[in-house]
Amino acid sequence: MELQLQGKTALITGSAKGLGKRAAEELARFGCDVVLNYRSSAADAEQLAEQLRSQYGVRVSAIQADLAQQGEAGKLAREALELTGQIDILVNNAGPFIRERRVFADYEEEEIIAMLHGNLLGAMLLDRHLLPGMRERRWGRVIHFGFGHAMEGRAWPHRAVYAAAKTGLVSFTKTLAVEEGQYGITVNMVCPGDIRGANKEKSISDVQGISDVESPLGRPGTGEDVARVIAFLCLPQSDFLTGNIIDVTGGFDPIRTSIKPSPKSE
The pLDDT tens digits of the residues spanning 131-188 come to 999 999 999 999 999 999 999 998 899 999 999 999 999 999 999 999 999 999 999 9
> In whole angstroms, what is the distance from residue 150 CA to residue 163 CA?
8
Average pLDDT, integer, range 191-202: 93
The answer, yes or no, to whether residue 262 has pLDDT greater than 60, is no
- pLDDT, tens digit, for every residue of 143-155? 999 999 999 998 8
The answer, yes or no, to whether residue 35 has pLDDT greater than 80, is yes
Residue span of the structural domain in which 105 resides: 9-248
8 Å CB contact between 169 and 146:
yes
Q: Is residue 265 part of a domain?
A: no
CATH number at residue 63: 3.40.50.720
pLDDT for res 265? 44
Mean pLDDT rounded to a whole number for the chain = 93
Q: Is residue 266 part of a domain?
A: no
pLDDT for res 1? 58
How far is the CA of 165 from the CAs of 93, 161, 229, 230, 260, in angstroms?
14, 6, 22, 21, 30
8 Å CB contact between 215 and 194:
no
Q: Is residue 255 part of a domain?
A: no
Q: Is residue 253 part of a domain?
A: no
Q: Is residue 262 part of a domain?
A: no
Nearest of 190, 180, 176 to residue 233 by alpha carbon: 190
Q: Is residue 147 part of a domain?
A: yes
pLDDT for res 99? 86
Q: Is residue 1 part of a domain?
A: no
Count: domains in the chain: 1
pLDDT for res 256? 65
The answer, yes or no, to whether residue 253 has pLDDT greater than 90, is no
Instruction: Enter the pTM of the model.
Output: 0.93
Q: Is residue 110 part of a domain?
A: yes
* Spacing of C-alpha 30 from chain mean position: 17
